[in-house]
Each structure stands twice: as structure tokens, then as C-alpha cells.
Amino acid sequence: MPRILFVSGSLRAASSATATARALMQRLEGRATTELAEIGTIPHYNADLDEPAAAAAFREAIGAADGVVFVTPEYNYSVPGVLKNAIDWASRPAYGSVFKGKPCLVMTVSGGALGGVRAQAHLKYVLGGMLAQVHPGMEVVIPQAGKKVEDGVLTDAATLDFAMAEIEGMMGANTGA
């Protein structure tokens, strides 16, 4: 069974990004082993420091995964700092990190009408710079995401069906299916 790591770019308790990840993880039950990464305890990146335990755990979770699904909001036309920080810790050594060749899928959420398209472009650029294998499928952008969440889980069936098709595409590309 494939192992999929979900990474939410938001720390908010009522995060629509995390609600989306939870819904997709539920849909993958019995088809994949899933885990939601904890990035909120990783300290600010500083190359002068030894790798902190939280950063090491994140890097190890990425390494153990067959694929990584990022679900992130857009902050100020880009990715949230907490997500970029976590990626910066896991991106070492340059050009040889756990991201090299790792299948990754990017999804974005937004309270607005654009669904986080600018953050999606930025995150794909960052992942490409680390030689990650960014899934080339259709972009999963979820506009007005907060209106689609009930009890901490995204409930919009059409959105989840669309997102699942892309996850299945990433998994199929990764397994050769």
C-alpha cells in the first residue's frame, strides 16, 4: 500500500487546508497509508544550528513517503512562512535532499475566488528547485474553501472527487500503474 504524507501549510485550528487534507485522508483509507505532517513546532531555519528534532522528524516522514501532498493557503500572494520554513529544513543537502525525485502534488485553498493560484505557482517553483517530481496533472485550487468545511473536514464532493483523481494520478505515476 502506498504511503502518502499530507502537509498543511496552515497552523490554524479551523484551517480549510487541514480540513481538505483530513477529507482526502479519509477517502484514501484502505487504499494508502496516510499521515499529516506536523510542521508547527519546527524552529526558524538557521544553517548554523544542528537539525532540530522536529525538522528531522519532518525530513524522515518525507523520506518514508511514496508521495507528498501539499495543501496550503495563500498568504500575501505566496506560500505561508511556516510551510517555506519546514521545506527549507528538509531541503538539505542542496540537490540531494529527501525531495529529490519525490512525487509531490500541490493543492491550494483560499477564502477568495482564485483558490490560491499564486501560492500554487510559487510552491511548484520551490519544489522544482529541489528536484522534486511535481505531479504534472491539473491544478487543484479550492476557492471559497471555508464555506465548504463542516466539523473540520472539507465536504464538497465535486472538489474532493477532482482532488482524488489527481492523487490517484500521482500514485499511479509513482507505481507505474
pLDDT at 175: 55
Rounded Cα–Cα distance for residues 105 and 83 (Å): 14
**Phi-psi category of 26—alpha, beta or left, where left has phi over 0 and alpha has psi -120 to 50?**
alpha
Cell of 89: 529544513
Interatomic CA distance for residues 73 and 15, integer angstroms: 9
Closest CA to 123 of 95, 99, 152, 153: 99
Task: Divide the 177 residues of the chain into consecutive groups of 10 and give the mean pLDDT of each group.
Answer: 97 96 97 97 96 97 98 96 98 94 97 93 97 96 94 96 97 66
CA distances from 172 to 6, 42, 83, 159 (A): 17, 32, 26, 20
Output Rg (C-alpha) for the chain, integer angstroms: 15
According to the model, what pLDDT value does residue 110 have? Answer: 94
Cα separation, 79 vs 119, in Å, equals 5
Q: What is the pLDDT of residue 174?
A: 64
Task: Give the pLDDT of residue 96.
Answer: 93
pTM for the model: 0.95
Find, among 141, 59, 134, the residue nearest to 104 by Cα: 134
Helix axes 81-90, 53-64, angle to 10 degrees: 80
How many CB atoms are located within 10 Å of the residue 20 CB?
29
What is the Cα–Cα distance from 23 to 160, expressed in whole angstroms?
8
Spatial separation of the C-alpha atoms in residues 72 and 106, rounded to whole Å: 8
| CA-based end-to-end distance of the chain | 13
Q: What is the pLDDT of residue 168?
A: 96
- The CATH class given to the 3-175 domain equals alpha beta
